């Protein structure tokens, strides 16, 4: 996918930063599942030092959500998903950018400030139905050297997929000059890379 004058470069970055994905296995994501489920307002408090305006955007996300969202989600759970998808400037201070950057780092201790938010959003995502389908991601890059057939890797930056998903490269096609198609299949790793959320969500009392 190439950029043009009509495409927001910030939106392009969301799908073109695949080159930043780690090329080696990272440590499992553990610890967040022990956190209590809190409101979105409380979940983002530990993030203020790195995302100064996060409370403002959390408020906007929650206001945009229905008080009784569909899919059996609480308002806070629904808003946590919306907040992840929101964009603002500077780009580096968007929640999804900061979280994905942290998910890619080898030092899992840097994820600790995210534990409350991870507990909330992963609880929400666990309630949503799983689906099987083909997913396509297009970038204006040749990544064939990084994704050779038979290579396994773990996805740490998610849009449609959760973090810490393992894939294997099952094919590589070059149907036209300059066009490279890398085919992946999700596989089940022998260990748990992302601990399940554990307790089901409970209704959260509104923040005064």
Q: pLDDT tens digits for 18-38? A: 556 666 788 999 999 999 999
Neighbours of 137 (CB within 10 A): 12
As given in the structure block, the two tokens for residue 113 are 């400030």
Q: From CA 132, how far away is CA 138, in angstroms rounded? A: 20
Displacement of CA 132 from its chain's centroid (Å): 18
Cβ-contact 172, 183 below 8 angstroms: yes
Q: From CA 166, how far away is CA 145, in angstroms rounded? A: 19
- Tens of pLDDT, residue by residue over 2-11, are 333 343 445 4
Q: From CA 101, how far away is CA 163, in angstroms rounded? A: 12
The pTM of this model reads: 0.73
132 compared with 64, residue with greater pLDDT = 64
Q: What percent of the chain is modeled with pLDDT above 70? A: 79
- Specify the pLDDT at position 138: 67
Please name the residue ranges forming H helices in the chain: 9-16, 40-43, 54-64, 75-85, 95-103, 115-127
- Specify the pLDDT at position 205: 44
Using a CB cutoff of 8 Å and minimum separation of 24, what contacts does 70-76 make? 71/127, 71/128, 72/127, 73/124, 73/127, 73/128, 73/201, 74/124, 74/201, 74/203, 74/204, 75/204, 76/39, 76/40, 76/43, 76/120, 76/204
- Tens of pLDDT, residue by residue over 92-111, are 999 999 999 999 999 999 99
Residue for token digits 């022990």? 34
Cβ-contact 44, 117 below 8 angstroms: yes
């Amino acid at each position: 996918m190439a950029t043009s004058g009509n495409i927001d470069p910030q939106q392009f970055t969301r799908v073109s930063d695949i080159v930043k994905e780690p090329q080696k296995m990272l440590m499992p994501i553990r610890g967040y599942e022990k956190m209590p489920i809190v409101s979105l307002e409380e979940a983002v408090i530990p993030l203020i030092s790195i995302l100064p305006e996060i409370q403002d955007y959390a408020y906007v996300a929650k206001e945009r959500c229905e008080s009784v969202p569909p899919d059996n989600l609480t308002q806070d759970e629904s808003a946590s998903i919306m907040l992840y998808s929101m964009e603002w400037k500077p780009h580096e201070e968007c929640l999804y950018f900061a979280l994905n950057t942290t998910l890619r780092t080898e030092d899992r201790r840097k994820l600790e400030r995210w534990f409350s938010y991870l507990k909330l959003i992963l609880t929400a995502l666990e309630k949503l139905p799983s689906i099987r389908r083909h997913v396509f991601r297009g970038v204006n890059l040749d990544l064939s050297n990084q994704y050779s057939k038979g290579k396994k890797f773990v996805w740490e930056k998610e849009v449609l997929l959760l973090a810490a998903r393992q894939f294997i490269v099952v094919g590589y096609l070059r149907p036209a000059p300059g066009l490279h198609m890398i085919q992946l299949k999700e596989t089940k790793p022998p260990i748990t890379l992302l601990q399940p959320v554990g307790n089901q969500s409970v209704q959260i009392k509104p923040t005064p």
